[in-house]
């Protein structure tokens, strides 16, 4: 058996739980409970009955009823105490409570209403009147939906009394005094025809309770009730809590029963006899106002809750937007970094492709030169030796001859021998030049190997003889070991590019009229090698190349290693020499930097990790003294 079903319940909970007119009946007498239940179900209500107030509170954990009907005299907790418990909880405080009792003790109704009940009706009352009161209470309960309009946390209740002047002079002053002593703001309206619908839409003046004198003859009280009920129904659609309507009638009316029904049908929330006196009337007004203010409080709480939800959603949306922007900025920054890295790698790859193409072209050129020159050169050298030996024999034979023309023939033969010797020196120079070209550009020397640094630099100088001329002096200061494990051909190209650029800078700085110096360009280039400790437990092999040229401007120094950047005239350079040199040094895990020399020229510093190679026992670490090498 569920908490909402007992022995005589013909309808299960599942058939009732979506019905808004579900009533909770708290009655300990089975006979009285059965009678009241059948009467209410006959009018279309769904009723659940429990026998005590404690049991009624237990059922609230599962479902809230639309209205509570409780007997005042209950075992344990009485009806008044149950009402107080309901009013103390924010969830149940708006549930209407109707007290039924057979008691006739003085002050019992007052006590029941002050405990928090909404209505007090004797069990012997007409069943139709009980049904009217229940429907009125349910109608009030249906209008407590929250609204988004602003609401103050606390305010004084506003009461409007609609009564003619004669009634005002006879009975209203005592009621007004009583209401004002309760802290309410009371206004009088002797002419209800002046009321406008805007009255219920003004939050600063809308009354919480309207008291209407139904017994007066100056206006139709029922018509006023109907008009106010229409206005508040419109106000109800906007989510506001409408005011309560209390009718005051004469108990001596002959058709009091029928008139009471018409009063409730007109929309009145409560009907009080004028004979009850100002104190009892004020008490009934306080009951209506209390319910109105409680519903205002629920509405205010709901507005605050919705405002907090909106604030939380806005904060979350703002945080999400900030996070999205931060994420987007981070993604954009990452994309920019990746794009810059890809662009850098593309430029490096392009430079390396140019270097590869240059080396491949140079290799093919050298192979062609070697093929075209070495064969005739070997032929000439071989025949030169034959001619030289023949001349030596002829000269020997002429020495023993006594012919008068002997001296002339001897002179001619000696001259031929001298010319053959000169030819031999020129041919050997051609042979050395081809050998140096092949040694510099051979692709198989791109592998790491042990090289002789001074010898490699001499090869570079031999290739730059024509550019250096006779006026540019190249000084060598070797303080580092002679042997270095590196890529011979690539390192030769780095040194060659830097020395070639230094020679170009020195030549470009010469005056246009070189006759003042005999037509010879003057300048100095120094190559200094030494070892240095890099602070990481390893030594670095350093090349410092300085020149006496005009130097490099600071703004140019920042871009000098960029691919395709050059200060030479159009057609004189591609801007790839130093870029390729920089990549070569990086491939050695070294560094290449540029600065100013003490004498004002350029200063290039090449630093690579020093690797003496696999065989170190035969290597000499003796430094060489300063020497001059003029070309």
Same domain, 578 and 471: yes
Same domain, 419 and 542: no
User: In sequence order, what are the beta bridge partners of 546?
Assistant: 526, 603
pTM over 0.75: no
Residue 321 near residue 314 (C-beta atoms within 8 A) = no
- Assess if residue 73 is contained within a domain: yes
- Assess if residue 417 is contained within a domain: yes
Alpha helices per DSSP H over 185-277: 221-237, 256-265
Helix (H) or strand (E) holding 48: strand 46-50
Rounded CA separation 505/509 (Å): 6
Same domain, 437 and 453: no
- 417 φψ region: left (φ > 0), alpha (ψ -120 to 50), beta (else): alpha
Q: Range of 574's domain?
A: 449-509+523-609
Tokens of 296: 């205002």
- Assess if residue 303 is contained within a domain: no
Residues in the chain: 631
- Assess if residue 212 is contained within a domain: no
pLDDT value for 183: 62
Based on C-alpha coordinates, what's the Rg of the chain? 59
Rounded CA separation 247/260 (Å): 10
Same domain, 535 and 425: no
Same domain, 482 and 537: yes
pLDDT value for 543: 93
Strands 539-547 and 602-609: antiparallel
Rounded CA separation 338/344 (Å): 10
pLDDT value for 605: 92
Residue 259 near residue 247 (C-beta atoms within 8 A) = no
CA angle in degrees (0–180, nearest 5) for 21-25-27: 170
DSSP 49: E
Q: Which residue, of 386, 407, 441, is where some domain finishes?
A: 441
Alpha helices per DSSP H over 246-277: 256-265
Rounded CA separation 69/24 (Å): 6
pLDDT value for 490: 67
Query: b or e along 368-382 (b: 16 or more beta carbons within 10 Å of the residue's beta carbon)?
Result: eeeeeeeeebeeeee
Q: What is the DSSP string of 531-572?
A: EEE-SSS-EEEEEEEEESS----HHHHTTTTSTT---SPTTT
- Assess if residue 99 is contained within a domain: yes
pLDDT value for 518: 47
- Assess if residue 68 is contained within a domain: yes
Same domain, 347 and 379: yes
* Phi (first) and psi of residue 383, to 5 degrees: -70, -30
User: In sequence order, what are the beta bridge partners of 100?
Assistant: 71, 121
Rounded CA separation 331/325 (Å): 10
Same domain, 455 and 554: yes
Q: How many domains does the chain have?
A: 3
Query: b or e along 76-106 (b: 16 or more beta carbons within 10 Å of the residue's beta carbon)?
Result: ebbbbbbbbbbbeeeebbbbbbbbbbeeeee
Tokens of 338: 């990746």
Say which CATH number the domain at 66 has. 3.40.50.2300
Q: How far is CA 333 from CA 321, 336, 342, in A?
A: 18, 5, 14
Residue in 175, 202, 197 with CA at minimum distance from that of residue 188: 175
Say which CATH number the domain at 572 has. 3.30.565.10
Rounded CA separation 233/252 (Å): 32
Same domain, 411 and 533: no
Rounded CA separation 246/270 (Å): 5
Same domain, 464 and 420: no
- Strand, helix or coil at 176? helix
- Assess if residue 308 is contained within a domain: no
- Strand, helix or coil at 45? coil
Q: Is residue 112 packed enough to be buried (19+ CB in 10 Å), middle (13-18) or exposed (0-12)?
A: buried
Q: Which residue, of 82, 105, 139, is where some domain finishes?
A: 139
- Strand, helix or coil at 288? helix
Rounded CA separation 140/264 (Å): 12
- Assess if residue 217 is contained within a domain: no
Q: Is residue 454 packed enough to be buried (19+ CB in 10 Å), middle (13-18) or exposed (0-12)?
A: middle
Positions in the chain short of pLDDT 50 = 1-19, 144-154, 168, 440, 443-445, 514-518, 571, 616-631
Query: b or e along 612-631 (b: 16 or more beta carbons within 10 Å of the residue's beta carbon)?
Result: beeeeeeeeeeeeeeeeeeb
Same domain, 453 and 568: yes
Rounded CA separation 278/117 (Å): 20
Rounded CA separation 307/318 (Å): 16
Cα dihedral 259, 260, 261, 267 sign: positive
Tokens of 348: 């490096």
- 154 φψ region: left (φ > 0), alpha (ψ -120 to 50), beta (else): beta
Helix (H) or strand (E) holding 387: helix 278-399
Same domain, 366 and 415: yes
Strands 448-452 and 483-487: antiparallel
Q: Which residue, of 121, 139, 157, is where some domain finishes?
A: 139
Same domain, 486 and 428: no
* 3-state SS string for 513-539: CHHHHCCCCCEEEEEEEEEEECCCCCE
């Amino acid at each position: 058996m569920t908490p909402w079903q007992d022995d005589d319940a013909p309808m299960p909970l599942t058939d009732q739980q979506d019905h808004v007119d579900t009533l909770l009946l708290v009655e300990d007498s089975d006979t009285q409970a059965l009678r009241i239940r059948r009467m209410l179900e006959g009018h279309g209500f769904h009723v659940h009955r429990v026998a005590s107030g404690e049991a009624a509170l237990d059922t609230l954990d599962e479902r809230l009823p639309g209205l509570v009907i409780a007997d005042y005299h209950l075992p344990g907790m009485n009806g008044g105490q149950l009402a107080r418990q309901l009013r103390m909880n924010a969830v149940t405080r708006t549930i209407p409570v109707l007290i039924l009792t057979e008691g006739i003790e003085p002050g019992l109704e007052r006590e029941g209403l002050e405990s928090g009940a909404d209505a007090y009706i004797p069990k012997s009352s007409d069943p139709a009147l009980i049904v009217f009161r229940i429907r009125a209470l349910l109608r009030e309960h249906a209008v407590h939906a929250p609204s988004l309009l602003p609401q103050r946390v606390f305010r004084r209740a506003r009461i409007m009394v609609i009564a003619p002047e004669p009634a005002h002079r006879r009975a209203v002053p005592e009621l007004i005094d009583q209401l004002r002593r309760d802290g309410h703001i009371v206004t009088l309206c002797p002419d209800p025809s002046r009321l406008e619908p805007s009255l219920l839409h003004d939050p600063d003046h809308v009354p919480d309770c309207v008291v209407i004198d139904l017994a007066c003859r100056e206006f139709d009280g029922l018509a006023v009730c109907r008009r106010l009920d229409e206005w508040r129904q419109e106000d109800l659609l906007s989510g506001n809590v409408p005011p309560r309507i209390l009718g005051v009638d004469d108990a001596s009316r002959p058709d009091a029963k029928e008139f009471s029904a018409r009063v409730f049908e007109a929309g009145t929330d409560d009907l009080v006899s004028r004979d009850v006196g100002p104190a009892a009337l004020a008490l009934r007004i306080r009951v209506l106002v209390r319910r109105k203010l409680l519903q205002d409080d629920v509405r205010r709480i709901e507005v605050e809750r919705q405002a907090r939800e909106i604030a939380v959603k806005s904060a979350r949306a703002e945080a999400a937007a900030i996070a999205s922007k931060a994420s987007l900025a981070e993604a954009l920054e990452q994309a920019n970094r990746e794009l810059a890295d890809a662009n850098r790698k593309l430029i490096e790859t392009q430079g390396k492709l140019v270097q590869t193409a240059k080396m491949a072209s140079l290799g093919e050129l050298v192979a062609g030169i070697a093929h075209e020159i070495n064969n005739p050169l070997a032929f000439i050298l071989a025949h030169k030796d034959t001619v030289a030996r023949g001349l030596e024999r002829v000269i020997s034979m002429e020495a023993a001859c006594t012919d008068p023309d002997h001296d002339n023939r001897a002179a001619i033969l000696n001259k031929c021998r001298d010319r053959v010797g000169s030819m031999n020196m020129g041919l050997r120079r051609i042979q050395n030049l081809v050998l140096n070209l092949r040694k510099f550009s051979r692709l198989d020397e791109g592998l790491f190997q042990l090289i002789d640094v001074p010898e490699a630099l001499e090869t570079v100088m031999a290739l730059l003889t024509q550019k250096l001329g006779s006026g540019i002096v190249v000084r060598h200061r070797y303080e580092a070991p002679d042997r270095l494990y590196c890529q011979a051909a690539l390192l030769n190209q780095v040194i060659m590019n830097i020395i070639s650029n230094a020679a170009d800078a020195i030549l470009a700085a010469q005056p246009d009229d070189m006759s003042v110096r005999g037509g010879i360009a003057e300048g100095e280039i120094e190559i200094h090698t030494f070892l240095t400790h890099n602070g990481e437990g390893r030594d670095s092999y350093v090349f410092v190349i300085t020149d006496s040229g005009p130097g490099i401007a600071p703004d140019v120094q920042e871009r000098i290693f960029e691919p395709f950047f050059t200060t030479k005239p159009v057609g004189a350079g591609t801007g790839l020499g130093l870029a390729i040199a920089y990549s070569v040094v990086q491939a050695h895990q070294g560094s290449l930097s540029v600065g100013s020399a003490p004498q004002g020229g350029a200063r290039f510093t090449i630093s690579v990790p020093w690797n003496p190679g696999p065989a170190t026992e035969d290597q000499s670490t003796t430094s060489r003294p300063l020497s001059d090498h003029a070309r």
